[in-house]
Amino acid sequence: MNIKEASERLGIPKETLRYWENNGLIPEVPRNSSGYRDYTENEIKWALFIKAMRNAGMSVESLIEFVDLYNAHKDSREAQRSIVKEQYDILLAKRNELDKTLNYLAYKLDHFEDHVMPFIEEEDYYELRKKDMLKPKEEDK
C-alpha cells in the first residue's frame, strides 16, 4: 500500500510516517519499481505500535532506544519490557491524577449551588470525601 493509503489506515499524517521511518522507528519501507514507498503489514504493525506508544506519551528518544534494543537481538527483552513498563507506570499515575480531578469536578458540579465560594481547598475535599472517591460510581460499573 502506498503512503497515502497507509496514512489513512493509521489515521496519521504522511509526514509522520516519513519521520518515523527516517528516525528508525519503523523499518525501512520497501519501494516499488517507481521508487514509491510500498507499505507491508510489517511496517503497518510497527507504525501501530509506535502510534500507541506516542499516544501513551512515550518520547521519540525512548522509542528509538526500544527499537535499537529490538534490532540488537541480544537478550534485550527485559530492557525492552522495562521501557514499556516505565511508560505504563507514568500513564497510570497520570490516570490516577485525572480520576481524582474528575471526582473533584463531579463533586463540584453535584454541589455547585450549595457553595458560597465556587471552590474549596482540595485537601478538605479529599479528607471529607476520600471514602466516596475510592468507590466507583454506579454509572461507571
**C-beta neighbour count of 16 within 10 angstroms:** 16
What is the b/e burial string over 68-84, where b = at least 16 CB atoms within 10 angstroms of the residue's CB? ebeeeeeebeeebeebe
Contact (Cβ atoms closer than 8 angstroms) between residue 87 and residue 56: yes
Q: State the DSSP H helix or E strand holding residue 125, giving kind and residue range, or none if neither.
A: helix 122-134
Distance between CA atoms of residues 125 and 105, nearest Å: 11
Alpha helices in 59-117 (DSSP H): 60-72, 77-110
Residues 35-59 pLDDT 10s:
999 999 999 999 999 999 999 999 9
pLDDT confidence of 82, banded at 50, 70, 90? very high
What's 115's DSSP letter? -
pLDDT for res 104 = 87
pTM above 0.85, yes or no: no
Task: Give the residue, 57 or 123, on which the prediction is more confident.
Answer: 57
C-alpha radius of gyration, the chain, whole number: 22
